[in-house]
Structure 1
Amino acid sequence: MRRTRALLSQFSTNQLHLRNPWVVTFFAFSYPGFGNLILHRYAKALILILWELFINHQAKINLAIMYTMQGHFQSAKEVIDERWFILYVGIYMFAIWDAYRSTVDINKQYMLADREDAPMITLKMGVWDMNYLDKKLPWVALAWSALVPGLGYLYIHKVISGLFMFGYTTAIVYFSHLPQAIHWMMIGHFEQSKSVINMQWLLYLPSIYTFIFYDSYISTVEQNKLFEKEQSKYLRMYYQASANVEAIFQSAQVKSMKFIVATFEQTVFLEMAITAVERLGITKDKITALPLDKRSEPRKIFDSIHTADGFSMMDLAAVLGTIFMLLGAIYGFELKWGPILWGIIGAVSGILLGFSIKLMILKKNRTGVKGITSEVVVMIQCEEALLEKVEEVLWDHTALGVSRMA
């Protein structure tokens, strides 16, 4: 094979999957380097992110943006440093252009790898850590990222991104004096809160915060899909030989043999069930596993560990959350409650607005069964004496349904 779907290391999972070029471009626009970070191009992302921090700080671009949005045009002219600003423009435009171009190119590579049914590694062990494919809940990754930036990445074992975001956001929070500002705000001293905060540093946070919970969420969704693809390929390779199916149907004519059918969702419990059945003395040629092709249908409204497409509710919510949080922080500096509280209000309002718009769009054509659905059919040929034990094993490993055939 010329391509691979994914590469697992001790510290991260890098994979090919389809991405919306415009969403990636938006995050590159909101913060240079984030577009490449979504694409798992860490070296280029690190260069652009650190360059953005350095040049933006030297040119005071965040302050100039704030004063411009507030209508204080003279203050914007006075605060900006033209020597550094000219250097900023070229890199900023490159980050946007490169994010879009790279996304289109990587999408092509994914489609070719998918058509080749490219192989992938499922487990990587080393001295420092181990990484393996498994299903995780997208909403758990989002919740941890919202609580503390970086924790969502650690939940899905993207240690490199998690470590970087821990350090990066901690530095920005420290230099913005955000903890002191929150303290004064919580006790009702809004003017004191505004006076202590450093807006040049604070205005980095809206783009960073919404990007982190969006990227950790989408990465969880795509890793779940990667797990399903790898498991389906494994089942087709080892438990779908034509001889297996023929032998199983012939067994129905033998009185001493029984035929059991069970359905499962695609999780690690499915493989545990099959290996447990084999330990009872039933060989591979008496087991057939048939992964079901999923029906093409309108996108699901809410992603879960069972069904996920990655583009349902989070893309527009993240985009509007970033914009509204930034505007809330900028205009909140001149309002009574201050930039922190108005930034939070803006973020929540943008996210809820994004959810509402997508809900109205997607709900019109929503079809399909709610909850857990059957994804794999397992057929087992066994002696009548083993029938009860096989059924018990299947139920113990979370089978969705089990049936005997006489």
Structure 2
Amino acid sequence: MPHQRFQSANIKPRYTKGLISALGVNSAYPRIPWIAAWWSAAFPGFGHMFLGKYLHGFILIIWELVVNSQANLNKGIALSMLGRFEEAKIQINEDWFLLYMAVYVYSIWDSYRCAVEVAKSHVLAEVEDAPVTPSEVTFFDVVILDKKNPWIGAIWSLLSPGLGQLYAGSTVVGTLVLAWWIYVAYKAEAVRMWLYSFLGDYNAVAEMVDWQWFLFMPSMYAFAIYQAYTAVIESNTLYDIEQIRYLRVRDENLSQQKTVANNKVQIIATFEHSPFVEIVIHEMEKIGVPKENIVAMPLENLKASTHILDSLHSVDGRSLLDGAMLGGTIGMVLGSIYGFVLYLGPIIWGLLGLIGGFTLGLLIEIAISKGQLKLFSPKKSEVIIQVTCNDTLQEQLIKILKSGKAMGYLVVPQRIDV
């Protein structure tokens, strides 16, 4: 959150926190550099997409699909891990393979570097308390920054990669992820493989699969789920940042120092960050409460414990799913490869590998965190509203607070000096 209040609405900040448009929502959200590097190692371009550098990521993903397929690299990797080293050597196209290595290393290095730079930019934007436009209406779309559940985004991408990105508000990203997934699934014969796997015809699955294209799918599938989850987290955080700035600027523009008369009442209520905060303020003004008598300010919450699962109103990106999804990706790749020689086939073993790797990664993260762990992130009181008004408006104000989803309220008793 901002290190200082925004000093003047006329000052134009040099760094931006985020942007929303018909193309999608993006933000300078700080991410752990080694996680960005890992996703680039799993699939060049994913690390840059993880950081919001989508154009850079798109270029590297297209490069990976073209050069990797021309070099037969995935097939060589699979044969090598199955111990068929001579066959792996024959499969590799050396000319394309030599082109591959430099860009592969670059994608890992550059995603790590970019993660560091984005974190610096985020800190500077916080210092300046840069504003964010909360909505945009164009001929093509109506884009509104709002609170969403990251798990719903993950579930939609679990059903079909790309849908979670569309839910998160990333229109272009979701469209391209859907397109990549459809193309790779078609080349790998994945839909028929899925069907025959669950019908129990595992021999037919092994015969029809295209190893080269099929091995793109575990990384793409796991990343689509994870990226949808984190995209919603970033959008929710951007919403909180925007509303905090709005409340602080509003407070600076209004005089709060008013003497409370005997016929006045003070009510204090707490809220989570949501559109209801601003709706409640406007409703209070509509029934006659002066603007200067409504104090609405964000709270500075104390540092929370590490938790596994984020929720709709308590999203900060500090859960343990980073390591769990990395483990799930590795497990799905290994399950898919060894599934070619095991009874249940690559589809079933790939899914089992995803579940097993996710569980193992989560257990490792829990062991590292030791006793500082909670399962769910707790709800936090994020905004406090204090209103001073005539006592005749008390009941109306309480109704407004209840309809506006206040977490709680207090009618401050008036003390008379003796």
| Gapped regions of structure 1 (runs ≥ 5) | none
Alignment of 1:4-403 (within 5 A): 4-239=16-251, 243-244=255-256, 246-247=257-258, 250-251=259-260, 254-362=261-369, 364-366=371-373, 371-403=378-410
Q: Report how far residue 37 of structure 1 moved.
A: 1.1
TM-score normalised by length of structure 1: 0.95
1:124-150 CA-to-partner distances (Å, cap 9, x unmatched) read 110110212111111111111111101
2:8 aligns with: none
State the AA in 2 paired with 1:278: E
Moved more, 54-63 or 257-266: 257-266
Amino acid at match of 1:105: E
In the alignment, the residues of structure 2 paired with residue 311 and residue 88 of structure 1 have an alpha-carbon distance, to the nearest angstrom, of 34
Instruction: Say whether the 8 Å CA contact 1:299–1:366 is kept in structure 2.
Output: yes
- What is the aligned partner in structure 1 of residue 6 from structure 2? none
Shift of 1:181: 1.5
- Whole-angstrom distance in 2 between the partners of 1:311 and 1:200: 36
Identity among equivalent pairs (%): 35
Q: CA separation of 1:123/1:307 partners in 2, compared to 1, >3 Å: closer, same or farther?
A: same
- For each residue in 1:33-78, what CA deviation from the matched residue of structure 2 results, as whole angstroms up to 9, or x when unmatched? 1111112222221111111111111110000000001110000011
CA contact (8 A) 2:305 2:374 kept: yes
Counterpart contact for 1:123–1:131, Cα < 8 Å: yes
Shift of 1:230: 1.2
Deviates more, 1:307-316 or 1:151-160: 307-316
Q: d(CA) in 2 for partners of 1:91 and 1:360?
A: 35
Task: Render the CA deviation track for 1:375-401: whole Å, top value 9, x for unaligned.
Answer: 211111111221111111111111111
The alpha carbon displacement at 1:361 in A equals 3.6
Q: Displacement of 1:298 after TM fit?
A: 3.0
How many Å apart are 1:152 and its aligned residue?
0.6
Secondary structure of 1:215's aligned partner: helix
Tell me, in whole angstroms, the C-alpha distance in 2 between the residues paired with 1:51 and 1:63.
17
1:240–1:289 Cα contact (<8 Å) kept: no
> Separation in 2 of the partners of 1:334 and 1:137?
39
Greater mean alpha carbon deviation, residues 180-189 or residues 73-82: 180-189
Q: Is the 8 A contact 1:142 1:213 kept in 2?
A: yes
For 1:352, give the aligned amino acid. T
1:365, 1:389 → 2: CA distance?
A: 43
Query: Any gaps of 5 or more consecutive residues in structure 2?
Result: 1-12
Alignment coverage as a number of residue pairs: 401
Q: In structure 2, what residue type is equivalent to 1:269?
A: F
CA distance in 2, matches of 1:86, 1:292: 55
Q: Residues 166 and 401 (structure 1 numbering): CA distance in 2 closer, same or farther, change over 3 Å?
A: same
Shift of 1:89: 1.1
What TM-score does the superposition give when structure 2 sets the normalisation length?
Answer: 0.93
SS at match of 2:309: coil
Q: Secondary structure at the match of 1:301?
A: strand
